[in-house]
Amino acid sequence: MKFRIFITVFSFGLFFIGCTKDVSEYNKPAAYWYEKMIESVANGSLEKADGYFSSLQSEHIGSPLLEEATMIMAQAHMEVGEYMLAEHFLDEYIRRFADASEREFASYLKMRAKFMALPNPRRDQTLIHEGLVEGEAFKKQYPNSYYLAAVDTMLVKLYLARANLNQTISNLYKRLDKPVAQGFYAKKQPETWIDWENVEPPNAPWYRSAFEGDGTSSWYAFLLPETRNVISKDADGNVKATRDPSEMNQKDMDSGVGDRDSSSSSSSQSSHAH
């Protein structure tokens, strides 16, 4: 019985020693952490590589190996599709290490990471917008860049994705009988240069296509309750006249204030009368 207890305790001790071996490593030379990081990247263990990179950065903040290590981690994460982590390392590289020529390449990689992080354009308006902003900024900053053709290609695809998304939302509001919202998205950034007859719409896999579409129809529409539209139409079914708040002039604003003041004055007089 005592022998069994000894074997059990000994086994647990070996297990915990094995688990804490990597954790207990500290105060190593920069070359040691760099070599461990490269070894982990080569083996596909990016989580371990991230840990070794953190040790290299925290223990040797001024090491010349950090510049190359940061770019290696950015490209390694991009290679396996972890684009947000790649963007994080690229931001760090641009902020701390890149000179003018290196900044151009790193900015291109960052734009590419943003573009590749968009697997489904119908779901992420923010990522489309950020990609367009970064792409146009890159073209403005590096008008003669070697990567300009690739950036232009990504921008065209992002503009197509945004226009297609707006059209899909417009079709959906049309089907839901919401003419005001439908008209808003139909006129929003229409990209008139696009010849839609020569554009092939995006194809979703079968397991998504059952729940996604172009907004014109859905097989599960019969499951949704029919509700009367009280925002876009009045009681007689006529489309309500709406105004953009940004188009209101000062006279309208003053008129609204005057109406509120008169209403408040009338209420006050009424209270005094009572």
Q: pLDDT at position 254, please?
A: 52
CA neighbor of 173 nearest in space, from 160, 187, 159: 187
Mean pLDDT of the chain: 76
Distance CA 65, CA 71 (A): 10
- DSSP state letter for 240: P
Average pLDDT of the residues in 20-46: 85
Contacts of 30-33 with CB under 8 Å at 24 or more apart are 30/56, 30/59, 30/60, 30/63, 30/65, 31/65, 33/59, 33/60
At 226, is the pLDDT very low, low, confident or very high (cuts 50, 70, 90)? low
Q: pLDDT at position 260, please?
A: 47
Q: pLDDT at position 227, please?
A: 57
- The CB density around residue 121, as the number of other CB atoms within 10 Å, is 18
Average pLDDT of the residues in 120-138: 86
Q: Is the pLDDT of residue 222 over 70?
A: no
High-pLDDT (> 70) share of the chain, %: 62
Lowest mean pLDDT, pick from 24-28, 62-66, 99-103, 258-262: 258-262
* Domain boundary assignment for the chain: 24-116
Instruction: Give the predicted TM-score (pTM) of the model.
Output: 0.66
**What end-to-end distance do the CA atoms of the chain give, in Å?**
96
Q: What is the dihedral of CA 73, 78, 80, 82, to 10 degrees?
A: 90
Q: Is the pLDDT of residue 178 over 60?
A: yes
**Helices 148-175 and 179-187, axial angle in degrees (round to 10):** 160
Distance CA 10, CA 168 (A): 64
Q: Which CATH superfamily is domain 24-116 in?
A: Tetratricopeptide repeat domain (1.25.40.10)
Sign, CA dihedral 214-123-212-174, equals negative
Q: Which residue has the higher pLDDT, 224 or 250?
A: 224
At 66, is the pLDDT very low, low, confident or very high (cuts 50, 70, 90)? very high
3-state secondary structure 185-221: HHHCCCCCCCCHHHCCCCCCCHHHHCCCCCCCCCCCH
High-pLDDT (> 90) share of the chain, %: 42
Q: pLDDT at position 119, please?
A: 73
Q: pLDDT at position 242, please?
A: 52
Q: pLDDT at position 20, please?
A: 37
